[in-house]
A = this chain, B = another copy of it.
Amino acid sequence: ACQRAVEEADARQARLTKPPGAMGQLEDLGAQLAGIARTCPPPVPSRPAVAVFAGDHGVHAQGVTPWPQEVTAQMVANFAAGGAVVNALARQVGASVTVVDVGVAADLPDAPNLWHRKVARGTRDLAEGPAMTREQAQQALETGIAVAGELVDGGADLLVTGDMGIANTTASAALIAALTRSEPAEVTGRGTGIDDATLQRKTAVVERALNRLDRSEPLTVLAEVGGFEHAALAGFLLGSAARRVPVVLDGVIAVSAALVASALCPDAADYWVAGHVSVEPGARAALDHLGMEPLLDLHLRLGEGSGAVLAVPLVQSAARLLSEVATFDSAGVSGA
């Protein structure tokens, strides 16, 4: 990002007809968008695009969730038909929704907004051994980079992360524990709303995986305990940065992928906006580690990109303030 444009935005905020700092977090966000666009005022994003990366998880076999694994494929069909929460929210803000199969454990029928990029039919069980080979993790990562590029080539000027994968909060908890060096019990949560016994099992699975883990290399951590959608999201975040397009992060799946992407390329984080903080405890731990302040805190725990899509108008508003609000001079308003 461009420091000169950030400073220009800060200076401009001070001349707009409002008390200095009165727009709080949106002023920081406006400056960030100026830095990303390398110009002040930054353009107001008008073509947001959500990418929902879908994959299945071998760790499902450990009983970490009451939802059957086939729900991943069923929800992909729901996304493709426009019937899921993320579709409704995307229509509200005029965002497109693209579903990317990077690892669903089923053959998926063609659909207009479904991209077939399957790396494998689900990961292996991270409780027993590496979830992915290094090559598989790399392939999913590169898929995410490519998807970001294709969406930008298609005209998207604001990317939004989404995910689907039954049992994927278990992989996120493992990634977050490993990369923030937190205790598994502190960052493993109830996901879709599991009971105490299931939470205990889930936490034990994360502990077991962490015990065998070599944390020296982010790509190894990703392959060992991540999922195909986590790997693809990490790539998506890197690809957005490479294309200099801001990207809004959703909940715990996105921020766990952001830890991986940030470990691979710290500067990429300049392009990321935390859309919300999920109630999943690992989400706050990851955001704190990344030094990011979320825009929304609505006690959401759905995923799909739902919290990130809800934050899109805030991102647009932050940019719009810099371009449209009159200055004290231009409006003839007295200062303090």
Chain A residues packing against B (C-beta within 8 Å)? 16-26, 44, 65-68, 70-71, 74-75, 77-78, 81, 83-85, 87-89, 91-93, 192-193, 279, 295-302, 306, 310, 313-314, 316-317, 320-321, 324-326, 330-336
Bound-state CA distance A84–B16 (Å) is 8
User: Could you pull out 18 A-B pairs where Cβ atoms are within 8 angstroms?
Assistant: A17-B84, A22-B192, A22-B193, A23-B85, A24-B298, A24-B299, A25-B299, A26-B300, A67-B334, A68-B334, A74-B331, A74-B332, A74-B333, A77-B331, A77-B332, A84-B331, A92-B316, A93-B313
Bound-state CA distance A330–B81 (Å) is 11
B302 touches A192 (CB 8 A): no
Total identical chains: 2
A320 touches B88 (CB 8 A): yes
- Known contacts A17-B84, A85-B17; A310/B301 CB under 8 A: no
B333 touches A75 (CB 8 A): yes
Bound-state CA distance A2–B129 (Å) is 55
B310 touches A314 (CB 8 A): yes
A324 touches B88 (CB 8 A): yes
Q: Which of A44, A81, A91, A314 is most buried by chain B, counting CB atoms within 10 A of its CB?
A: A314
The interface residues of chain B lying within 8 Å CB-to-CB of A89 are 317, 320-321
A279 touches B91 (CB 8 A): no
Bound-state CA distance A77–B330 (Å) is 12
> From residue A82, how far is it (CB to closest CB) to chain B in Å?
8
Bound-state CA distance A81–B88 (Å) is 35
> From residue A311, how far is it (CB to closest CB) to chain B in Å?
10
- Known contacts A16-B85, A193-B22, A320-B88; A298/B295 CB under 8 A: yes
The interface residues of chain B lying within 8 Å CB-to-CB of A279 are 24
Bound-state CA distance A298–B293 (Å) is 10
In the complex, which residue of chain B has the Cβ closest to the Cβ of A304? Answer: B18
Bound-state CA distance A91–B81 (Å) is 31
A325 touches B92 (CB 8 A): no
Bound-state CA distance A75–B333 (Å) is 7
B300 touches A24 (CB 8 A): yes
A85 touches B298 (CB 8 A): no
- Known contacts A92-B313, A317-B89; A331/B83 CB under 8 A: yes
The interface residues of chain B lying within 8 Å CB-to-CB of A26 are 298, 300, 310
> From residue A108, how far is it (CB to closest CB) to chain B in Å?
14
A18 touches B302 (CB 8 A): yes
> From residue A97, how far is it (CB to closest CB) to chain B in Å?
13
Bound-state CA distance A300–B25 (Å) is 7
The interface residues of chain B lying within 8 Å CB-to-CB of A335 are 67
> From residue A64, how far is it (CB to closest CB) to chain B in Å?
12
The interface residues of chain B lying within 8 Å CB-to-CB of A325 are 83-85, 87-88
Neighbour of A333 across the interface among B23, B71, B320, B324, CB < 8 A: B71
